[in-house]
């Protein structure tokens, strides 16, 4: 990937180059994430003005994908699977090998998977196929096209190597569904894969039997794949073509922890051996998975009535463990009518809404789902109302009659329920009868958006019919639905607006792009083909990409019939960095065509591999290493270097010296000791290190003699310390020395060392631990040798072996810096003068921020009406303009009548090395908030307040030379899952941390200031959005 460039240029991004890598841009699964929210909140270039202007349109097409021969006939490719987007991928084989690309991942009905360059890199243009992999000959299928891969895959970038999971119905060596794991860098199928999915392998695993997993020609794996939070379990949903068998959820052990991939457990929708419908789990989005690992899936029709262990027309929740265990259910009030008329609830996959503000509703954890009837349901996922033995009795009256519907709905009476309350019907006319095949009103998953005022919305696509028994569509086909909240009461849905000009025949699921809460746009694709229509390219209609302003419901853009080729059904586009990608028989890209290219980026740090050792031997560290202390042994059974003595075990690479370089290694510290990697190690043993502690924190430290200085620290985010994880450190520059630490390829700590004790000379690299039994593997040093020679030590491993998970040439996090951080030793771009506020003050790729509040306190009348004093006392001064705290203990004030979610705050402060100067954002009525705090010792902290609990999310030396004089501190907060926080001092980013905890504060809130001591000074308080 090219290195980052200044945020002010982000809006001008076009195809001349991609921005720096940022996991926030990744779209790794259906609807972008495991919760299936469908909301990309870090898109700044795609504004309504830009999209509706005449310069938005088709940018490029990839080459057409591969055709396939089935039964002697040649078939064009089709994408039922939605494309994925990966912001930074190291390509290790094929076109572009050895370089980093932003890529679009595509899987086709012909059984091929592709990596396509999203933006140009060097001489490789956008749209280039970087690698292609065939999964095997596809099988005959519906819609007059083969069935190879039709489910949306899922990528796991934390696996080693990063991998893609994908399924396909293939005929070699015999016909079966198979699940594959593919190396994302090369396209190679990983060892131990694929796993066959057929009656012989799945039926014995069923925990809801007796049942039969029907023959492959009857079973359909169209539901999007999903992964457990730690990536150890993969979930696959199955339905049946033409109602020819039961539905199944299959759990696959990915081998990420166990080491051996295997089919682990299965659950069928009912004890069913017949070849008729029963509880198909086929919705396009598949299962939705919460942060706690609970798995939610919807089912289709089956035998009517409350039969033991039959779960048709239901939402099922499974515990996050093996074997699969049903832990909660919901079944709509009219499930018997839905069963009898093939009206699948599984037509819509579930979406887990981001947590709601507990002060605004009693139901903070919500789940929503649609279905073929055109209804949209809202449920409290903490209290699903169904049983675990059978569904409720039939109810043929209305939703409030016994047994009453258990979803959340409002007080409004619905004429279609006989003037009683009930779930919201979005696309009609309402009917219990006419909702299957071409009569169906919706087969989509809604998308989520949270507005600036904290209001939550769902966008839902479908088809309104011209009459109850008609299949012909008419407007509306897109609805905006509000999640209504009242303090202390359950939430419910209310129709907020329709788009009324467009007719959709068979739309896919929508997605939403926005810049935080600004400029939201709904994107969707209508196939323009009925559910029963075939996809033969010579006769089928071409799809249309639509963009609709989410606030005004105004059409912004519609592609022409010549701009997109015939694709599949039920898929959605993906958007990243100002470009919308659509998969048909190829990948097509849309964006603003006239944006000027960014200036040429500065060259990246040297990236040649200087040294590699996988320790795959039993002879010890060997001659390429020098043991400084302790003792080490190596193993070929589980290749590793392992420490042998408690106290200190240290080793360094012989005959190696580099200054601007990086080190990475896989480590296992078993939550017991410290695993440390070293750079710029001097003969005196002075050095920099990255250290994974026993508590899971990641530190960047400097060693000067016996003195160890912790320069910065942050949670590593490593899910389990009892399995391999990759840590890395990059050191560049001299004044300051820029240090970047990563865990599993994600930047965790960025700090500049400009102290007199900084280490500026080249040195070697090494490993250290304080405990026997700590493991190290795949030790890699990248960079250029000191002095720029082409020398360096030989590879310690087998010739040309290369580490299996060496990652990017930098071995640390991709592009080494935070998003838009500039080159590693350049300092933050656009930092401005010392009091310009923090860089990255807006959400990723934001344009120039807008000042929404400022106060220089140049008065003697006190804080005034724009402020509310929460505690303590304050006065202001016009002699030396400032706000000054008056009471020891707690002095706090917040800005009145202001609320923002994605914004930044900065102020000049003096704490006189005595107290804490704190600035706050997202401050709730409960006083929960985020802060940046300048401590009396000069340390800068980023913290989260939940009630009386204060959690330090990250800290670093502020670098402020004199705490007795004015210095500017700042905090920016963006996003929701995770919340991204950047703390700065004098315009330099010091702490960058993501908060993805359950206690994260995602709602908009106020801004303010706090201190614990009288006499602390604040001025030039500025809030920007």
Return the minimum-mean-pLDDT range out of 359-368, 374-383, 634-643: 634-643
- What average pLDDT does the structure give for the chain? 87
* Residue at 389 is within a domain: no
Mean pLDDT confidence for 675-697: 95
β-strand pairing of 176-183 with 163-170: antiparallel
Does the pLDDT at position 596 exceed 70? no
Q: Domain check: are 680 and 769 in the same one?
A: yes
- Same domain, yes or no: 758 and 620: yes
Residue 832 has pLDDT above 60, yes or no: no
Question: Does one domain contain both 725 and 863?
Answer: no
Tokens linked to 311: 């779960």
Token output for 267? 């659950």
What integer is the mean pLDDT of 905-912?
Answer: 92
Per-residue confidence (pLDDT) for residue 143, from 0 to 100 = 78
Look at residue 779 in the predicted model and tell me its pLDDT.
92
Where does a domain end: 765, 783, 801? 783
> Mean pLDDT highest for which of 110-119, 235-244, 636-645?
110-119
- Find the mean pLDDT for residues 469-479: 95
Name, in order, each residue with C-beta under 8 angstroms of 864's C-beta and a sequence gap of 6 or more: none
The pLDDT value given to residue 31: 97
Share of the chain above pLDDT 90, in %: 72
Question: Is 551 within a domain?
Answer: no
Q: What pLDDT does residue 823 have?
A: 28
Exposed (0-12), middle (13-18) or buried (19+): which is 308, by Cβ within 10 Å? exposed
- Is the distance from CB of 311 to CB of 278 less than 8 angstroms? no
499, 462 contact by CB (below 8 A): no
Between 811 and 924, name the one with better pLDDT. Answer: 924
CB atoms within 10 A of CB 255: 18
Q: Mean of the pLDDT values across residues 277-301?
A: 95
Does residue 775 lie in a domain region? yes
The encoded tokens of residue 693 equal 């502690």
Side-chain half-sphere exposure of 177, counting CA atoms within 13 A: 30
Q: Residue 787 has what pLDDT?
A: 58
Total number of domains in the chain = 2
Q: Model pTM?
A: 0.61
pLDDT confidence bin for 658, thresholds 50/70/90:
very high
Average pLDDT over residues 881-906: 91
Looking at the structure, do residues 867 and 947 belong to the same domain, yes or no? yes
- The pLDDT score that the predictor gives to residue 22 is 62
- pLDDT of 844 > 50? The answer is no
Residue 114, CA distances (Å) to 103, 111, 166, 874 in order: 9, 10, 12, 62
User: How sure is the predictor about 565, in pLDDT bands with cuts at 50, 70 and 90?
Assistant: very high
736, 751, 783 — which closes off a domain?
Answer: 783
**What is the per-residue pLDDT for 594?**
58
**Residue 642 within a domain:** yes
> Are residues 776 and 865 both part of a single domain?
no
pLDDT of residue 735: 86
Give me the CATH number covering residue 965: 2.60.120.560
What pLDDT is recorded for position 2? 29
pLDDT score at 12? 28
For residue 977, give the DSSP letter.
S
Q: According to the model, what pLDDT value does residue 194 have? A: 98
Do 724 and 622 share a structural domain? Answer: yes
* Contact predicate 374/347, CB 8 Å: no
Q: What are the respective helix, strand and coil percentages of the chain, to the nearest 5?
A: 5, 40, 55
Of 116-125, 532-541, 601-610, minimum mean pLDDT range: 601-610
pLDDT class of 607 with cuts at 50, 70, 90: low
pLDDT of residue 373: 97
Q: What span, in angstroms and rounded, lies between the C-alpha atoms of 304 and 973? A: 51
| Element spanning 201, H or E | helix 199-202
Q: What is the band of 409 on the pLDDT scale with cuts at 50, 70, 90?
A: very high
Can you give the pLDDT at residue 483?
A: 97
Q: Kindly state the tokens that stand for 52.
A: 């509706």
Is 1015 inside a domain boundary? yes
The 3-class secondary structure across 254-314, one letter per residue, is: CCCCCCCCEEEEEEECCCCCCCCCECCCCCCCCCEECCCCCEEEECCCCCCCCCCCCCCCC
Q: How far apart are CA 403 and CA 8, in angstroms?
A: 58
Residue 142: per-residue pLDDT: 81
Assigned domain for 863 exists:
yes
pLDDT at 11 over 80: no
User: Is residue 689 in a domain?
Assistant: yes
Average pLDDT over residues 127-150: 93
CB neighbours of residue 418 within 10 Å: 13
Per-residue pLDDT tens for 151-190?
Answer: 999 999 999 999 999 999 999 999 999 999 999 999 999 9
Q: Do residues 888 and 1015 both lie within one domain?
A: yes
- Supply the pLDDT for residue 889: 83
Q: Which helix (H) or strand (E) holds 971?
A: strand 967-974
Tens of pLDDT, residues 727-784: 999 999 888 898 888 988 888 888 888 899 999 999 999 999 999 999 999 999 988 7
**Per residue in 966-990, pLDDT tens?**
899 999 999 998 999 899 988 878 8
- The residue range of the domain holding 653 is 608-783
Q: Which residue has the higher pLDDT, 577 or 799?
A: 577
pLDDT at 1001 over 70: yes
What are 845-882's pLDDT values in tens digits? 334 578 899 998 988 889 999 999 999 999 988 777 89
Contact 810, 730 (CB under 8 A): yes
Mind listing the pLDDT tens digit for each residue in 523-553?
A: 999 999 998 888 887 778 999 999 999 999 9
Model confidence at 929, pLDDT cuts 50, 70, 90, reads very high
Looking at residue 229, what is its pLDDT?
A: 95
Domain stop point among 783, 806, 837: 783
CA distances from 991 to 657, 910, 977, 1024 (A): 29, 20, 18, 19
Same domain, 733 and 868: no
764 & 856 share domain:
no
Q: In what order do the strands lie in the sheet with 456-461?
A: 447-450, 456-461, 478-484, 492-499
777 and 855 part of one domain:
no
Task: Report the chain's terminal Cα–Cα distance, integer Å.
Answer: 29
199 SS3 class: helix
What is the average per-residue pLDDT within 565-570?
92
Same domain, 771 and 874: no
Q: For the residues 106-115, what does the mean pLDDT come to? A: 97
Instruction: Please give the Cα distance from 798 to 811 (Å, whole number).
Output: 19
pLDDT digits (tens, 9 = 90+) for 315-328: 999 999 999 999 99
- Which tokens hold the place of 33? 């994430």
> Is 614 in the same domain as 761?
yes
From residue 272, give the alpha-carbon distance in Å to each of 197, 304, 314, 337, 716. 18, 13, 16, 20, 46
935 found inside a domain = yes
Cα 714–chain centre separation: 20
């Amino acid at each position: 990937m090219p290195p980052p460039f200044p945020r002010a240029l982000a809006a001008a991004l076009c195809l001349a180059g991609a921005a720096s890598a940022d996991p926030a841009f990744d779209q790794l699964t259906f609807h972008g994430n495991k919760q299936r929210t469908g909301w990309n909140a870090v898109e700044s270039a795609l504004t309504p003005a830009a999209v509706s202007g005449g310069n938005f349109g088709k940018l490029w097409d990839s080459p057409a994908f591969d055709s396939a021969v089935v039964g002697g006939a040649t078939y064009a490719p089709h994408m039922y699977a939605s494309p994925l987007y990966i912001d930074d991928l190291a390509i290790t084989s094929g076109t572009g090998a050895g370089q980093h690309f932003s890529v679009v991942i595509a899987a086709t009905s012909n059984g091929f998977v592709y990596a396509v360059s999203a933006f140009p890199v060097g001489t490789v243009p956008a749209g280039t196929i970087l690698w292609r992999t065939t999964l095997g000959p596809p099988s005959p299928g519906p819609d007059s096209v083969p069935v190879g891969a039709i489910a949306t895959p899922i990528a796991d970038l934390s696996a080693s190597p990063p991998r893609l999971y994908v399924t396909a119905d293939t005929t070699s060596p015999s016909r079966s569904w198979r699940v594959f794991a593919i190396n994302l860098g090369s396209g190679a199928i990983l060892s131990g894969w694929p796993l066959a999915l057929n009656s012989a392998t799945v039926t014995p695993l069923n925990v809801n039997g007796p049942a039969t997993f029907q023959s492959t020609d009857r079973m359909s794996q169209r539901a999007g794949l999903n992964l457990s939070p730690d990536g150890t379990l993969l979930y696959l949903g199955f339905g049946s073509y033409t109602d020819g068998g039961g539905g199944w959820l299959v759990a696959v052990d990915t081998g990420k922890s166990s080491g051996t991939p295997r089919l682990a457990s299965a659950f069928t929708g009912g004890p069913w051996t017949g070849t008729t419908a029963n509880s198909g789990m086929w919705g396009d989005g598949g299962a939705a998975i919460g942060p706690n690992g609970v798995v939610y899936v919807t089912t289709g029709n089956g035998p009517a009535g409350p039969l033991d262990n039959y779960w048709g027309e239901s939402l099922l929740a499974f515990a996050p463990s093996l074997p699969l265990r049903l832990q909660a259910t919901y079944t709509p009030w009219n499930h018997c009518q839905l069963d009898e008329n093939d009206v699948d609830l599984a037509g819509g996959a579930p979406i887990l809404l981001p947590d709601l503000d507990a002060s605004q509703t009693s139901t903070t954890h919500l789940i929503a789902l649609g279905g073929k009837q055109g209804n949209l349901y809202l449920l409290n996922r903490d209290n699903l109302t169904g049983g675990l033995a059978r569904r409720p009795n039939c109810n043929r009256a209305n939703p409030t009659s016994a047994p009453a519907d258990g979803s959340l709905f409002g007080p409004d009476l619905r004429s279609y329920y006989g003037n009683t309350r009930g779930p919201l019907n979005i696309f009609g006319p309402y009917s219990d009868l006419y909702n299957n095949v071409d009569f169906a009103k919706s087969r989509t998953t809604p998308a989520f958006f949270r507005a600036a005022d904290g209001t939550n919305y769902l966008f839902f696509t479908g088809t309104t019919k011209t009459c109850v028994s008609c299949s012909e569509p008419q407007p509306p086909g897109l609805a905006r639905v509000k999640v209504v909240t009242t303090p202390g009461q359950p939430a419910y849905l209310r129709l907020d607006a329709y788009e009324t000009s467009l007719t959709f025949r068979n739309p896919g699921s929508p997605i939403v792009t926005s810049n935080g809460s600004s400029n939201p746009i709904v994107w969707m694709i209508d196939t323009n083909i009925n559910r029963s229509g075939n996809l033969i390219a010579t006769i089928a209609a071409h799809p249309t990409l639509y963009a609709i302003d989410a606030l005004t419901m105004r059409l912004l853009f519609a592609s022409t019939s010549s701009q997109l080729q015939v694709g599949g059904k039920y898929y959605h586009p993906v958007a990243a960095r100002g470009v919308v990608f659509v998969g048909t028989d190829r990948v097509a890209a849309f964006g603003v065509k006239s944006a000027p290219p960014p200036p040429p980026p500065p060259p990246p740090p040297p990236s040649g591999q200087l040294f590699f050792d996988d320790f795959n031997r039993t002879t010890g560290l060997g001659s390429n290493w020098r043991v400084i202390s302790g003792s080490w042994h190596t193993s070929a059974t589980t290749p590793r270097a392992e420490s042998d003595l408690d106290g200190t075990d240290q080793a360094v690479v012989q005959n190696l010296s580099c200054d601007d370089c990086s080190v990475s290694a896989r480590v296992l510290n078993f939550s017991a000791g410290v695993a440390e990697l070293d750079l710029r190690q001097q003969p005196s043993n002075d050095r920099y290190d990255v250290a994974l502690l026993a508590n899971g924190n990641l530190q960047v430290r400097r060693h000067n003699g016996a003195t160890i200085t912790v320069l910065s620290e942050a949670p590593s985010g490593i899910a389990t310390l009892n399995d391999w994880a990759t840590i890395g450190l990059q050191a560049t520059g001299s004044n300051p020395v820029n240090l970047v630490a990563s865990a599993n390829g994600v930047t965790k700590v960025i700090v500049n060392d400009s102290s007199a004790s900084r280490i500026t000379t080249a040195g070697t690299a090494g490993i250290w631990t304080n405990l026997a039994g700590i493991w190290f593997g795949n030790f890699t040093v990248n960079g250029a040798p000191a002095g720029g020679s082409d020398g360096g030590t030989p590879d310690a491993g087998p010739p040309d072996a290369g580490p299996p998970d060496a990652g990017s040439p930098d071995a640390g996090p991709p592009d080494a810096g935070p998003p838009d951080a500039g080159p590693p030793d350049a300092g933050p771009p656009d930092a401005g003068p010392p009091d310009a506020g923090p860089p990255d003050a807006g959400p990723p790729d934001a344009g120039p921020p807008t000042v929404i509040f400022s106060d220089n306190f140049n008065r003697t009348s006190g804080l005034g009406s724009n402020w509310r004093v929460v505690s303590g006392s304050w006065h202001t001064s016009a002699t030396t303009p400032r706000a000054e705290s008056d009471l020891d203990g707690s002095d706090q004030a917040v800005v009145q009548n202001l609320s923002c979610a994605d914004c930044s705050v900065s102020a000049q402060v003096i704490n006189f090395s005595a107290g804490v100067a704190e600035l706050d954002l997202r401050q709730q009525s409960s006083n929960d908030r985020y802060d940046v705090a300048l401590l009396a010792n000069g340390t800068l902290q980023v913290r989260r307040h939940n009630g009386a609990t204060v959690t330090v999310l990250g800290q670093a030396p502020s670098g402020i030379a004199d705490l007795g004089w004015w210095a500017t501190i700042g905090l920016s907060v963006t996003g929701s899952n995770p919340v991204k926080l950047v703390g700065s001092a004098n315009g330099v980013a010091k702490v960058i941390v993501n908060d993805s905890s359950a206690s994260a504060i995602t709602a908009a809130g106020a801004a303010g200031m706090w201190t614990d001591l009288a006499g602390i000074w604040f001025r030039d308080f500025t809030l920007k959005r």
